[in-house]
Structure 1
């Protein structure tokens, strides 16, 4: 009886392996002309052993779709993403898209590297490099700095560097592929930090390619409240400028150490708004930001605030590109050196 059960289980795993492999190949052909970077294939058994059968001691985070676990493989720490949602067509597509896009992006130093995946599970289980310092959200919000949470507060210099690194990664996603790709889920929880606090962009399952010759892609609205570009929220139309808006919101959080929903309450007295920039309230935003900056170089803070406001302007055509954002952040970082030279 047990031998029959084992045979049935092995056949089921083999079926998942073949079906998932075919889906990933199809996605790579559709989105990247069949081009792929090699990733490792992990067996279901190996990942169970690596995570001590997904023991609670290694549990890190969960949402309505997946759980993250810390594991150990070949004497190195790994991050295992185990999908827990029902294997509907939507979630299978999410998972396959993530494998395809993350494998293409893994050579970028500011992207969390996809090491491989297990295709034997109904929804592929993904294996990433381990980000020892957790998420950006663990280190920028005032509420996270209680002694019990043991989170290190990032200096302004580190915050600015991390912002520049993530801008580089998003710019590469927009311009470095055969088709522009919109991430659609940029927020501080999806920015990981390695042991040296180098930024690593994560979560490509909701990303969408813009067809050649087009400037946008139509899709259901996804993302975290407060980070979704207003035009995408109302029209279900996504462009690279949708990501620019989301990144601008992250900049507001980096500048103030406050979550976006708290910012909206403090600025407008509401728990939710379609946009951070309501009725052209640029002057009001400047006043608020200046009164709520984290401690740091005021010249850099002011310049970064101006950039953040440009990123969240309601008209997407008036937002800078992510390449321009990354270039401006580099210029802002150099302001410290210039200030020191003037003082000398």
Structure 2
């Protein structure tokens, strides 16, 4: 299935030649919807749909008209966040992701298709946002997923946005455990380990009961069988959530996701954005060392104790034993040396152990 991502150019050439010789044009006029469907990998999607053969969580191909009707022509009243629109299809509430990127790049279109394919592979897990399908009749593919009524975790996390919806420590710990389980499944649920590469609070959605749903698999990448890492472009990531080895030499392993998850734990523990944590930590260090530090990583070789002191002074209110144990886990996750970081399976196991603290 993963080879599909690598034959997009060949598929596109085949389609171009088919259109070029006029065979299709003779039989019927080509609509823009049909052309976009072919260019966006519609044939590959049909293969994917067929491959499920009614098993697991089958996905479907939506038409442009169906989604326009479902979202009331993408009415702004239904706009939620990050390009997601609320819609109703066959009496079911759905999410439709409509991103405006012009001109649309083949890389982005490939990410949309990959999002559907990877999420479909992972859809049996209760903490993965389930894809229902996509529409390839538009210039940029539209993604259709189950509805996540509460939106993004980032909407409930940060101290500057404290209000009635601000999450308690108990809810934060539960959500962290759920996402750790989902990432563990991503790493171990198929023959090839899949690296998410974009784990952050914006890509964690919440259903009506605040159950966490990992989303946005467009940047994900698989590690070839027999290998321990893969080298790839960095693409677009958030400051502070990228592992040092990925930033410096473009190397990705399972421990890359562990680092990003550690950054999420820092935000969960403090109610602060990683970008703000970096500013606060390194401004203090700069004063102590009488020099300017501008670091993009949570941990540098000799500042572990400084990070520990910062967390102890800035953690939110809650069960102190749980908070401090989780702080130690977060520090382990963002170690500079990836070999010193725990696996996601170990992280999930430790979080469940912490949950049992009274």
* 1:82 and 2:98 aligned: yes
Following superposition, the deviation at residue 13 of structure 1 comes to: 1.6
CA pair 165-74 structure 1, distance change in 2 beyond 3 A: same
Following superposition, the deviation at residue 17 of structure 1 comes to: 2.7
What do residues 149-177 of structure 1 show as CA deviations (whole Å, max 9, x unaligned)? xx601111110000000000001000101
Map 1:278-293 to 2 at 5 A.
Answer: 278-293=300-315
CA pair 13-171 structure 1, distance change in 2 beyond 3 A: same
Q: Which residue of 1 aligns with 2:31?
A: 11
* 1:52 and 2:59 aligned: no
* 1:179 and 2:163 aligned: no
CA pair 274-184 structure 1, distance change in 2 beyond 3 A: same
* 1:262 and 2:282 aligned: no
Kept in 2: contact 1:98–1:203 (CA 8 A): yes
Corresponding residue to 1:22 among 43, 49, 64: 43
Q: Which residue of 1 aligns with 2:3?
A: none
* Structure 1 alignment gaps of length 5 or more: 1-6, 337-344
Corresponding residue to 1:61 among 81, 87, 104: 81
Corresponding residue to 1:102 among 106, 119, 123: 119
TM-score under structure 1 normalisation?
0.87
* Structure 2 alignment gaps of length 5 or more: 1-27, 284-291
Whole-Å Cα distance in 2 between the matches of residues 313 and 28 of structure 1?
41
Following superposition, the deviation at residue 273 of structure 1 comes to: 2.1
What do residues 59-111 of structure 1 show as CA deviations (whole Å, max 9, x unaligned)? 1223xxxx211112222321101132233221121111111101111121001
1:111 counterpart SS class: coil
Q: Which residue of 1 aligns with 2:13?
A: none
Following superposition, the deviation at residue 25 of structure 1 comes to: 6.3
2:152 counterpart SS class: coil
Off by >6 Å, runs of 4+ in structure 1: 25-29
CA pair 261-191 structure 1, distance change in 2 beyond 3 A: same
- The aligned length equals 317
Following superposition, the deviation at residue 335 of structure 1 comes to: 0.9
Corresponding residue to 1:72 among 88, 99, 117: 88
Kept in 2: contact 1:262–1:271 (CA 8 A): no
Map 1:160-175 to 2 at 5 A.
Answer: 160-175=173-188
Kept in 1: contact 2:282–2:294 (CA 8 A): no
Map 1:192-203 to 2 at 5 A.
Answer: 192-203=205-216
